[in-house]
Amino acid sequence: MDMVAANLLGRAMYAPILRGSREDANFARHIFLDEESHDFYLDWDRAAWTNVTILRREAGRSPHDKRLHALIGELSTRSEVFRELWAAHDVRKHYAGVKGFVHPVVGGMELNYQTLDLDGEPGLSMTVYTATPGSPTVETLGLLASWGASEEAPRLLSLA
* 75-133 pLDDT per residue, tens: 999 999 999 999 998 787 778 899 999 999 999 999 999 999 888 887 788 999 999 99
Cα–chain-centroid distance for residue 138?
A: 20
Tell me, what's the pLDDT at 153?
57
* 9-30 pLDDT per residue, tens: 998 999 888 875 555 689 999 9
On the question of pLDDT at 61 being above 60, the answer is: yes
Count of CB atoms within 10 A of residue 24's CB? 16
CATH architecture of 8-157: 2-Layer Sandwich (3.30)
Tell me, what's the pLDDT at 159?
43
Tell me, what's the pLDDT at 18?
84
Residue 93: φ, ψ to 5°: -100, 130
DSSP for 54-89? HHHHHHHH-TT-HHHHHHHHHHHHH-HHHHHHHHTT
pTM of the entire predicted model: 0.85
d(CA 52, CA 44) in angstroms, rounded, equals 12
Domain boundaries, the chain: 8-157
Q: How confident is the model at residue 4 (pLDDT cuts 50, 70, 90)?
A: confident
d(CA 126, CA 118) in angstroms, rounded, equals 7
DSSP H helical segments within the chain, as ranges?
8-13, 27-33, 37-40, 44-61, 66-78, 80-87, 136-149, 154-157
